[in-house]
Amino acid sequence: MSKKFFFMTIATLALLALLVTSCAPAQPSTPTPTPTPTIVPSPTTTTPPSPTPTPKFRVAFIYIGPIGDGGWTFEHEQGRLMLLQNVPGIEAKYIESVPEGADSTKVIRDYAQQGFNVIITTSFGYMDPTIEVAKDFPNTVFLHCSGYKTAANVGTYFGKIEEPRYLSGMAAGKMTKTNKLGYVAAFPIPEVIRGINAFTLGVRAVNPAATVNVVWTNTWYDPAKERQAAEGLLDTGCDVIAQHQDTPGPQQAAEAAGKYGVGYDSDMAKFAPKAVITCPVWNWGTYYVDAVKKIMAGAWTTNQYWGGMKDGMVSLTPLANFVPADVKALVEAKKAEIMAGTFDIFSIFAGPLNDQTGAVKVAAGVKMTGDEILNMMWFVEGVNGQIPSGG
């Protein structure tokens, strides 16, 4: 029996050991060549693995999810690859699936101790850990995505995705026949809520009779569930499905029902070519290249970067072929205003704005401030749905 027990233990340990090694985050970053069509042609070579005697400029990325999520982290990874391509002589490592909180503090500190010059933390929940570690490493620059705390060596960055969202709303408002649009929402946090609001304001700018119906999945990332949510909206009469999650599930549901959709995060048209009108997408790479070049040149000072369409941080994928020419012209005209700087996120969230009950929230002539926009926790008029409380 003891012999058998011994075997069993060995076998279990062996399998666990295998697991640990297979699950360990890909520390020495070897970018796998992805055949994915994206803004960046995927590099097939990686930085030389052997250390060169001259010290390199080293950048580390901390990711919240796996780079294979096809959405948030995937797009940051595209940004990292673009950085590697555009800034010669640097090293850019990444670590995937780092939980927010204490674990991330350890990981960030570890990279700082290894002497990385720039550490980029790509999720809201890394904010406090980033600030905490940054205190002990004044010579390291930290860039934190989507937060609001800064320090002399900590900058933040985020994008005005609401601009392309507004444009996608305009296109969607023109494409609907039932005047009922659906929105598959992720979690009831300001980022998602202002996305819904920007979309709705775009819709109602061209089609004041239309409503946007919201369903919450409380997921970022469950294709089957998100598809199910979209089907629920389609079954109740919605004929354009917008979304906040990273998966093409809702768009596939729209296509199966012969209806339209607006994707998000990365270009989803290839998954549902007959349905996807357009997608608001992130392009982190432009920012990473700029910021790292500045830091290398010693020209960087702490800042809170909030890039819009004009800066190339966010964009709208080309409208689908099935979109009528007049709708295209309408959206293009507004896009031209944004690119010219005459229309921006503050023009979107400018009064008069009513809430769902029709009560005035922002008076005519008043523009919401950046802080107000970033902390928006109410729906504009035209949204059907509730923001779950106590979440």
Give Cα separations from 221 to 181, 235, 256, 307, 391 (angstroms). 22, 22, 20, 25, 18
Candidates 2-10, 284-292, 330-338, 355-363; binding stretch for other proteins (CB under 8 A): 2-10
Q: How far apart are the first and last CA of the chain?
A: 52
Nearer CB in complex with other proteins: 164/182? 182
Displacement of CA 226 from its chain's centroid (Å): 17
Among 203, 163, 219, residue whose Cα is nearest residue 380: 203
Give the separation between CA 313 and CA 365, rounded to whole angstroms. 28
Contact between 222 and other proteins by CB under 8 A: the answer reads yes
Name 94's bridge partners. 61
Nearer CB in complex with other proteins: 22/54? 22
Member of 238, 277, 330, 373 binding other proteins (CB under 8 A): 238
Among 160, 58, 98, residue whose Cα is nearest residue 368: 160
Nearer CB in complex with other proteins: 90/238? 238
Closest distance to other proteins from the beta carbon of 336 (Å): 30
Tokens 């009922």 correspond to what residue?
A: 180
Among positions 34-63, residues that touch other proteins (CB under 8 A) are 34-38
Contact between 30 and other proteins by CB under 8 A: the answer reads no
Give the separation between CA 136 and CA 142, rounded to whole angstroms. 12
HEC-encoded secondary structure of 131-148: HHHHHHCCCCEEEEECCC
Residues near 202 by beta carbon (within 8 Å), at least 6 away in sequence: 165, 166, 167, 168, 169, 170, 172, 173, 348
Closest distance to other proteins from the beta carbon of 341 (Å): 33
Candidates 82-90, 196-204, 310-318, 378-386; binding stretch for other proteins (CB under 8 A): 378-386
Contact between 388 and other proteins by CB under 8 A: the answer reads yes
Give the separation between CA 40 and CA 262, rounded to whole angstroms. 23
Member of 181, 210, 215, 383 binding other proteins (CB under 8 A): 215
Nearer CB in complex with other proteins: 34/85? 34
Q: How many CB atoms lie within 10 A of CB 99?
A: 12
Give the max Cα distance, the chain: 83
Nearer CB in complex with other proteins: 66/351? 66
Q: List the helix and strand counts (H, then E) for the chain.
A: 12, 16
Among positions 252-271, residues that touch other proteins (CB under 8 A) are 252, 256, 266, 270-271
Contact between 189 and other proteins by CB under 8 A: the answer reads no
Among positions 266-325, residues that touch other proteins (CB under 8 A) are 266, 270-271
Amino acid at 338: I
Candidates 49-57, 247-255, 275-283, 326-334; binding stretch for other proteins (CB under 8 A): 247-255
Nearer CB in complex with other proteins: 267/290? 267
Contact between 239 and other proteins by CB under 8 A: the answer reads no
Contact between 329 and other proteins by CB under 8 A: the answer reads no
Give the separation between CA 101 and CA 389, rounded to whole angstroms. 24
Closest distance to other proteins from the beta carbon of 370 (Å): 29
Member of 52, 218, 369, 375 binding other proteins (CB under 8 A): 218
Give the separation between CA 215 and CA 243, rounded to whole angstroms. 10
Contact between 217 and other proteins by CB under 8 A: the answer reads yes
Contact between 70 and other proteins by CB under 8 A: the answer reads yes
Give the separation between CA 239 and CA 258, rounded to whole angstroms. 9
Contact between 126 and other proteins by CB under 8 A: the answer reads no
Cis status of the peptide bond prior to 352, with omega within 30 of 0: yes
Candidates 227-235, 274-282, 333-341, 345-353; binding stretch for other proteins (CB under 8 A): 227-235
Contact between 67 and other proteins by CB under 8 A: the answer reads yes
Member of 93, 144, 227, 259 binding other proteins (CB under 8 A): 227
Residues that bind other proteins (CB under 8 A): 1, 4, 7-8, 11-12, 15-16, 18-19, 22-23, 32, 34-38, 65-70, 74, 182, 213-219, 221-225, 227-229, 231-233, 235-236, 238, 246-249, 252, 256, 266, 270-271, 384-386, 388-391
